[in-house]
Amino acid sequence: MMRSTNESKLTGFILLGFSDYPQLQKVLFVVILILYLLTIFGNTTIIVVSLLESKLHTPMYFFLSHLSFLDICFTSSVIPQLLVNLWSPMKNITYSGCMVQLYVSLALGSTECVLLAVMSYDRYIAVCRPLHYTVLMHPHLCMALASLAWLSGVVTTLVQSTLTLQLPFCGHRQVDHFICEVPVLIKLACVDTTFNEAELFVASIIFLIVPVSIILVSYGYIAQAVLRIKSASGRKKAFGTCSSHLMVVIIFYGAIIFMYLQPAKSRSKNQGKFVSLFYTVVTPMLNPLIYTLRNKEVKWALKKVLGKIL
């Protein structure tokens, strides 16, 4: 068993990805490449505009810049390898490459879960405590909250990824997915994985259910505050400050919860692949689009920056 376990480390893995759909792979390559370029462009634009425009030097856009940077790093840890596998008949990934992808993507995904909860708290303060907003959301607190999000992602990947990579794979090299993820590697193991599945479920509760609960509570208070506003224009303005974030939360958490809050061995392989493809490729591309189209401040700042450049 030791020799066959070490074989995976020496030869790496085969990411089967969408091999069951050979006629679809070239189409997926073109679509995913376009979405990846749009993701890089859109999120980079958000970061640059937030840095250059002084009116966007607020906690909301501070956290939004972190979210955009996260999306750039997350997609870049997954999509290049996916594109190579879609284009090439060889689907190999080295053991070290799989390990890096596992650690980095899990860290960034977990960080985004916490960061979205932090952003909902920021929106709660902005709507429910507007007169105290600048006092409560001071730069030191914003930096501490952002650091907490990043640190939590690092801690969870050090625990989950390390436990997963310690499992013996007994020479099993074919990963029926396009990415090295904890659930698919657990499924590949040749020993009892009850402990790993339980640990994954607990981590999912911490990084999915707890942030979602914070978001729901925050938006519950926000809804109450908005309904107390008498003027229609005031309600529209208050809702407009939160609608973009709420849309991002629904899209992101909807896909993640559907994927992770199931036992690893109960998922159908095609279901897991396409849900993962959605939150890996589509969601990061939608974030800057949603914030740009539904936010007058971002659109105004973008026009101003482009006007200076042109």
CA distance 230 to 56: 28
> Residue 297's pLDDT band (boundaries 50, 70, 90)?
confident
Q: How far apart are CA 307 and CA 310, in angstroms?
A: 5
**Tokens matching residue 44:** 């980079």
pLDDT value at position 10?
53
Task: State pLDDT tens for residues 185-238.
Answer: 888 888 888 888 888 888 888 888 888 899 989 988 888 888 887 777 777 776
Q: What is the pLDDT of residue 259?
A: 67
Q: How far is CA 277 from the centre of its chain?
A: 12
Q: Long-range contacts for 80-88 (Cβ within 8 Å, ≥24 apart)? A: 81/15, 81/179, 82/17, 82/32, 82/178, 82/179, 83/29, 83/32, 83/33, 83/36, 85/15, 85/17, 85/178, 86/17, 86/18, 86/25, 86/26, 86/28, 86/29, 86/32, 87/25, 87/26, 87/29
Question: Distances in Å between the alpha carbon of 79 and those of 26, 28, 74?
Answer: 14, 11, 9
d(CA 20, CA 180): 18
Query: Could you report the per-residue pLDDT of 100-120, keeping only the tens digit for each?
Result: 999 999 999 999 999 999 999
CB of 118 closer than 8 Å to CB of 233: no
pLDDT exceeds 60 at position 290? yes
Share of the chain above pLDDT 70, in %: 89
- Check residues 85 and 258 and name the one with the higher pLDDT: 85
Q: Where are the alpha helices (DSSP H) in 205-231?
A: 210-228
What is the DSSP track for 232-253?
HHHHHHHHHHHHHHHHHHHHHH
Radius of gyration of the chain (CA): 21
Q: Which residue has the higher pLDDT, 272 or 287?
A: 287
CB 75 within 8 A of CB 280: yes
> Binning pLDDT at 50, 70 and 90, where does residue 268 land?
low
Tokens representing 178 are: 């396009």
pLDDT for res 71: 93
Q: How far is 70 from 252, CA to CA, in rounded Å? A: 13
- Number of CB atoms found within 10 A of residue 174's CB: 12
Residue 241 has pLDDT above 70, yes or no: no
pLDDT digits (tens, 9 = 90+) for 129-155: 888 888 889 999 999 999 999 999 999
Q: Which amino acid is at 166?
A: Q
Mean of per-residue pLDDT scores for the chain: 83
